[in-house]
Structure 1
């Protein structure tokens, strides 16, 4: 009986840890990602890639490489590059803030790599171009993961598992004491 209760407590603890692990893992942002805002634009639209914190050296040149359909037509600010690997920007105070304008014939997913010329730091991001040529899409970042309201149930379930586990452990301790008292 003791081993059954102990196994139940261990199983409940492992289940609670498995449920809570993704929440803890998402607590820290990925420092190797450049975020596009908006993440979906129309052909001819504009997006701006940023970093969550300074990751490059102060005022470092940042080399930009873009992969996607008609990527050679992408412009940085108002200057059209001759190739998609010749784009450069500056990391102002170490932070990334790079606006890109897509050509009217852009479509599909574009993968963008930002590399610090001195530090060698690499950030990656992507943007999707879809729809008919129009003005840039309004919006912001895609909603991913969980927010505080949607994880309330998980937290309550985890707390319930902890309370149930504590009750099982307390009950086992009481039974052990009673057995010792009766045997003596």
Structure 2
């Protein structure tokens, strides 16, 4: 029984250490998406999906997420979803209005309800005070955002997590073998 449990733990560790394959889906190539407008607080951006990006007259579900509330139509929230209808040639234009206090990165995802085609766009909105380069104490900002991400790749995280799980499984097997030897 202990060997069976050890084998299951090791199999689970191997499964977690191996990344899963990505699901195939219909994606709109970057060449079919264009973004224009003002990426500033209070500004408006227009995302255009070119002809043939979606099926003719297809319902397209659009979702915008970001650091602060955005307005897609008349709905100001941090995540906005709204259904649009593609034109008779499969093109679509979506207008996004950023709030007065907007800053950071916003993402737009458009998914065709019938075709399942997914199109993406992202915006980096500069804060309203980004153009101010001097303050009372002589320091200021050049309008760039601080890097707050990580330099560790996802593969390194998967390998480290797999090693931890594998090590835990080996400790369980070792303890089981030790207890079995002590009882004999």
TM-score under structure 2 length normalisation: 0.48
More helix by share: 1
TM superposition score normalised by structure 1: 0.48
If asked which structure has higher relative contact order (CA below 8 Å, sep 6+), I would say: 1
More strand by share: 2
